[in-house]
Structure 1
Amino acid sequence: MTKQLTRERIIQAALILFKDKGYTATSTREIAKKAGVNHLTLFRHFENKRNLFRESVVHHVTSSHFFDGIKEKLTEDLREDLTLIAKAYLEENIDKNSVFWVYLTEAAQDPELSELIMEIPKRLNDFLATYLSKLHGHKKISSGNFQMISHMFFSLLNQYIMFHRFPAFHHTFPGSIDDFIDECVDLFQMKLEKDMLF
């Protein structure tokens, strides 16, 4: 088995166990056993449980493929790009919604896990804030607190991810996922272009 394949097997085993049992209750020995590797092999690849959680869960939600795939399609048209980012983020994470639920309670009680989980919004916010700063530098949007705006943008998307599986959601939510994205983008476009209309 190649090193890369071994690494992938460990990551997949960790992702399953972390989702099923949570961070604290999952041991590295269990992960090694599920992956079919020696416990020492796991530590050679990841050094500790913290690094393994970062690789399996945090990067699973905000993978480099997600960022790279978006960057090459950005056009600097705010509406078009925010729509692209929202659609890509929802497509990437809509079926991974258990990640958003499993760790909420546990993270509130475990400072180490809380710190790890907060890497997810940080990576997302940094990505979008950098893009918005670039547009502002090119005089295409108004000034603003781009970190806060980015946080608010992804917070709305995360709300959709968390609640869309509830049966009552479809009875109370008036519209499709595309309608939701359009309304979100409208809100942020109005804010970011408010001084550019004159």
Structure 2
Amino acid sequence: MVIDMSDTSDRLLYAAINLIAEKGYKAVSTKEIAKEASVSEMTLFRHFGTKQGILEAAIDRFYYSTSMKELFEKNIVWDLEKDLFMISESYHKLMKKNQKVILIAFKEGNSIDGLYNQINKHPRQLKELLIEYFLEMKQQRKIKYEGNVEGLAMAYLYMLYGEFVSRNFVEGHQITSIDGDEFIFSAVQLFVNALKEKDNNFSAV
């Protein structure tokens, strides 16, 4: 998502994410955020009300749910391998771009009331998009899967998320030497080989 630094709201949100990720939620004041964004504190209050209000708005602005929803609406071609590659690569690019939001979640999740729910609505929405995708692929008889489709969506989401976290946030404990592209290739091939209909003779569940 493009940040418009000529827009007052965007400048405030960008400043809030950067400062909170660097110093912690409690250590950053609304006055400091406003100063970083080159506006008055009153302007911040007028736009977002409170410090928690600006953090919640920043998470919604800079996390990935809107981008992923647009991707599913516009870029899906109903080819399992192509779609999973596209979803996985886009997910990793967005997560990399929004590392500061994720860092705030790790650092502040237990100290800010409602923060986990605010952040978790993004993976929940992605899970629902994946469920809808896999159900439609079953309906089109392009995959064969007899289990709970929510479990399938969760397995794919956790695989992507787990690899991203271990690579970017677990210092000294990275469990693989392969790069992100190699991981995505392996993950996609695993799911394609497990789900791809090969004989067109199964009964849809």
Q: TM-score when scaled to structure 1?
A: 0.79
More displaced 10-residue stretch of structure 1: 92-101 or 11-20: 92-101
Match of 2:189 in 1: 186
Report what 1:103 is aligned to: 105
Q: Does 1:177 align with 2:180?
A: yes
Shift of 1:57: 2.6
Q: CA–CA distance in 2 between the matches of 1:151 and 1:134?
A: 16
How much does 1:122 deviate? Answer: 1.4
- Are 1:61 and 2:63 counterparts? yes
Query: After superposition, where does 1:43-122 map in structure 2 within 5 Å?
Result: 43-62=45-64, 64-122=66-124
Do 2:12 and 2:33's aligned partners in 1 also have CA atoms closer than 8 Å? Answer: yes
Q: Find the aligned partners of 2:37 and 2:45 in 1 and give their Cα distance.
A: 13
User: 1:6 is matched with which residue?
Assistant: 8
Code of the residue aligned with 1:13 in structure 2: it is A
Task: Say which structure is richer in helix.
Answer: 1
TM-score scaled to structure 2, two decimals?
0.77
Tell me the distance in 2 between the aligned counterparts of 1:81 and 1:162. Answer: 23
Q: Bigger CA drift: 118-127 or 185-194?
A: 185-194
Relative distance call for 1:27 and 1:133 in structure 2 (3 A) is: farther
CA distance in 2, matches of 1:40, 1:60: 23
Shift of residue 70, structure 1, vs aligned partner = 4.9
2:15/2:36 contact within 8 Å kept: yes
Q: CA deviation at 1:24?
A: 4.1
Deviations 1:8-46 (A, max 9, x none): 111111111121133344333322222121222223222
- Show the counterpart of 1:23: 25
What CA deviation, in whole Å up to 9, does each residue of 1:119-147 have, x standing for no partner? 23112212222222332333333354333
Offset at 1:95? Answer: 4.6
| Count of residue correspondences | 195
Q: 2: distance between equivalents of 1:136 and 1:23?
A: 45
Go from structure 1 to structure 2 and tell me whether the alpha carbon gap of 1:22 and 1:57 turns closer, same or farther (over 3 Å shift): farther
Tell me what 2:165 maps to: 162
Give the C-alpha shift of residue 98 in structure 1: 4.2
Q: Identity across aligned pairs (percent)?
A: 27
The RMSD of aligned alpha carbons is 3.0
Shift of 1:83: 0.9
